[in-house]
Amino acid sequence: MTAVVNIAAYKFVSLDLLPDLRAHLLTVAGDCALKGTILLAEEGINLFLAGSAEGIDTFLKTLRADARFADLEVKFSHSEGVPFRKLLVKIKREIIRMDHPTIRPEAGRAPGVDAKTLARWLEQGVDDAGRPVVMLDTRNAFEVDEGTFKNAIDWRIERFTQFPAAVQAHRAELEGKTVVSFCTGGIRCEKAAIYMNEAGIQNVYQLDGGILKYFEETGGPGYDGKCFVFDERHSLDPELAPSQG
């Protein structure tokens, strides 16, 4: 059986005429026989799709023909079956809800650290400036329970809207360290890192591409367990193989 290609991607970019864009992407993805979810908001796009290699390739070429998505970065994985039941394209207030409208990643990202650099930092225990490195999990508690970085900070939040309050309650444990926020694919930790920077916490980075890109590029050193994903694969191991429940 030909393996199904799964993609995850997001981009913070100003979007308008959302109903028209929704209709267009629903048609394009449908014509490519893809299933999954595309979220659209004025702040950007967030998508999780699966289908044949040809269908994914055609969809991405069409999407990137729009200048707003030309540099869209995509994370790939494979599965034997399609882990989604249908195709949905939704318009939302935020592509990842934080309830802090002043946090606008398009206006400027927090510094990022790539997967290979992070793996080196974790191996040596400090960053390139000699500061101790702490990993901050920005995901929900049930996701963390499936797996996380060794010794990661976990505030047991139940939804991402609780993250800002958790930062204010626990900020003392972040002082004097290099803080790397991380999540599944990068979108939550990007907003999280911006919030912490604006809150005056220094030396904050976001893990570029999240756990999935870390698995893809490094094989997952320093990570214990699997990564929960919001589809029928349930979770992925560091080789990006699904657990199927």
> Which residues are catalytic, by number?
183
HSE-up of residue 64 (Cα within 13 Å, Cβ side):
12
37: left (phi over 0), alpha (psi -120 to 50) or beta: beta
Task: Say what the alpha-carbon torsion angle 232, 212, 239, 56 is, to the nearest 10 degrees.
Answer: 60
Q: Are 221 and 62 in contact (CB under 8 A)?
A: no
CB atoms within 10 A of CB 127: 20
> Amino acid letter at 77?
S
**Cβ atoms of residues 235 and 229 within 8 Å:** yes
Instruction: With CA atoms as reference, report the closest residue to 141 among 125, 131, 155, 161.
Output: 155
Alpha-carbon torsion, ordered 232, 234, 237, 239, to 10 deg: 10
* Integer Cα distance of 63 and 200 in angstroms: 37
Radius of gyration of the chain (CA): 18
Contact indicator for 91, 43 with CB cutoff of 8 Å: no
